C-alpha cells in the first residue's frame, strides 16, 4: 500500500482550525512504521475530531498514528518544509 503524504497533508489542512500540516513516515524497526502529522493549528483543536474527519476522507492505513502540534513548519532556504528540522514526536506507550 502506498502512503501519499501530500494527500494526508492536504486533507488535514481542510479541517477547520488547521492552517498548515506536514506528514512524515518514521521507521523505527521492520515492524514499527508510524505516520506522524505535524499541525499548525488553533490551540484548542481537538485531535479526536480531526481523526474522525480523516477516517471519513482517507483510507485507514493513511491515518496518522501520532499528531504533534507545533507553532510553525520549519522551512528550507528554498521555502519548502524542512522535514529534518521537525521535532521528534512525543510517543506514548499504550497500556496492554
Kindly list the domain boundaries of the chain, sorted by start residue: 5-82
Res 95 pLDDT > 60: no
2-to-5, 6, 7, 59, 61 alpha-carbon distances in Å? 9, 12, 11, 11, 9
What integer pLDDT is reported at residue 24 of this predicted model?
96
- Helix, coil or strand: residue 40: strand
Integer Rg of the chain from CA:
13
In tens, the pLDDT along 45-85 reads 999 999 999 999 999 999 999 999 999 999 999 999 999 99
What integer pLDDT is reported at residue 7 of this predicted model?
97
60-to-5, 7, 25 alpha-carbon distances in Å? 14, 13, 15
Is the CB of residue 48 less than 8 Å from the CB of residue 40?
no
Fold of domain 5-82: GMP Synthetase; Chain A, domain 3 (3.30.300)
In tens, the pLDDT along 6-55 reads 999 999 999 999 999 999 999 888 888 899 999 999 999 999 999 999 99
Amino acid at each position: 500500500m502506498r502512503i501519499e503524504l501530500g494527500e494526508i497533508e492536504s486533507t488535514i489542512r481542510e479541517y477547520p482550525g488547521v492552517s498548515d500540516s506536514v506528514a512524515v513516515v518514521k521507521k523505527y524497526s521492520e515492524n514499527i512504521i508510524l505516520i506522524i502529522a505535524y499541525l499548525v493549528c488553533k490551540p484548542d483543536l481537538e485531535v479526536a475530531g480531526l481523526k474522525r474527519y480523516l477516517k471519513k476522507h482517507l483510507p485507514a492505513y493513511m491515518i496518522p498514528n501520532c499528531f504533534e502540534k507545533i507553532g510553525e513548519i520549519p522551512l528550507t532556504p528554498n521555502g519548502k518544509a524542512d522535514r529534518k528540522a521537525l521535532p521528534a514526536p512525543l510517543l506514548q506507550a499504550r497500556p496492554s
